[in-house]
């Protein structure tokens, strides 16, 4: 179903206490989440039972235990179809800067995939702000979207058995920072010393949904 914005939205029940909003892609996810979250925080009418709004790559889950899902669906549909696009340009002082040494094992490979040279890849990665769309894969792993479209590259054909913590990579339309050593199939551009997940920190995740991020070249690589 399309709304005033022309956005196609499909809403499905997710068990007995949640609704799943399906949209076309991550840009729509960002817009819908930004529209729903303040309504959920307001907690009035059908939103009173909403306990969480959870974004993913193509969906937004609205969790409302004990709520009237029929009434909530009407409200969610109205808000989702009319949601305005989210601009990735933040106000001054609202950017998390992540310094990166661009010496990753896949930098040359990314250059071949994109038709850029390695220094152009670095400039493209650092030249725009990114926005955390959602988290997943591992605690503290944030999927950042909205960067230079020239950097869209496929995942590795076979994932690495071990990727060091702090590795900065690309996969599809996303970039991300590995919060801890783990297997992974993203193409690695470099490394950062920034700790993106610390269980002793409040909140533990540095890069939370909606956060804007700028990567900064430390000059340690290309």
pLDDT tens digit string along 106-141? 999 999 999 999 999 999 999 999 999 888 888 899
Distance CA 106, CA 129 (A): 22
Neighbours of 104 (CB within 10 A): 24
Is residue 90 very low, low, confident or very high in pLDDT (cuts 50, 70, 90)?
low
* pLDDT, tens digit (0-9, with 9 covering 90-100), for 162-180: 999 999 999 999 999 999 9
Which CATH fold topology does 95-217 show? Cyclophilin (2.40.100)
Residue 176 and residue 169 in contact, taking contact as beta carbons nearer than 8 Å: yes
DSSP 3-state assignment of 39? helix
24: its two tokens: 């076309």
Domain extent listing, the chain: 10-81, 95-217
Element (H, E) at 175: strand 174-177
Element (H, E) at 29: helix 26-42
CATH of domain 10-81: 3.30.1360.40
Rg (CA), the chain: 19
Residue-averaged pLDDT of the chain = 90
């Amino acid at each position: 179903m399309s709304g005033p914005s022309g956005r196609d939205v499909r809403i499905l029940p997710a068990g007995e206490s949640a609704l799943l909003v399906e949209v076309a892609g991550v840009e729509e996810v960002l817009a819908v989440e930004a529209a729903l979250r303040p309504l959920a925080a307001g907690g009035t009418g059908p939103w009173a039972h909403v306990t969480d709004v959870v974004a993913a790559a193509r969906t937004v889950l609205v969790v409302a235990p004990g709520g009237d899902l029929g009434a909530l669906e009407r409200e969610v549909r109205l808000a989702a179809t009319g949601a305005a696009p989210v601009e990735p340009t933040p106000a001054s002082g609202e950017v998390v800067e992540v310094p990166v040494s661009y010496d990753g094992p896949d930098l040359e490979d990314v250059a071949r995939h994109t038709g850029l040279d390695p220094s152009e890849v670095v400039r493209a990665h650092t030249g725009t702000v990114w926005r955390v769309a959602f988290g997943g894969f591992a605690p503290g792993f944030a999927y950042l979207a909205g960067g230079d479209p020239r950097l869209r590259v496929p995942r590795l054909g076979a994932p690495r058995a071990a990727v060091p913590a702090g590795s900065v990579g690309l996969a599809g339309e996303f970039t991300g920072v590995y919060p801890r050593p783990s297997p992974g199939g993203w193409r690695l551009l470099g490394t950062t010393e920034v700790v993106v997940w610390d269980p002793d920190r409040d909140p533990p995740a540095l890069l939370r949904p909606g956060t804007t991020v700028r990567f900064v070249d430390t000059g340690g690589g290309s």
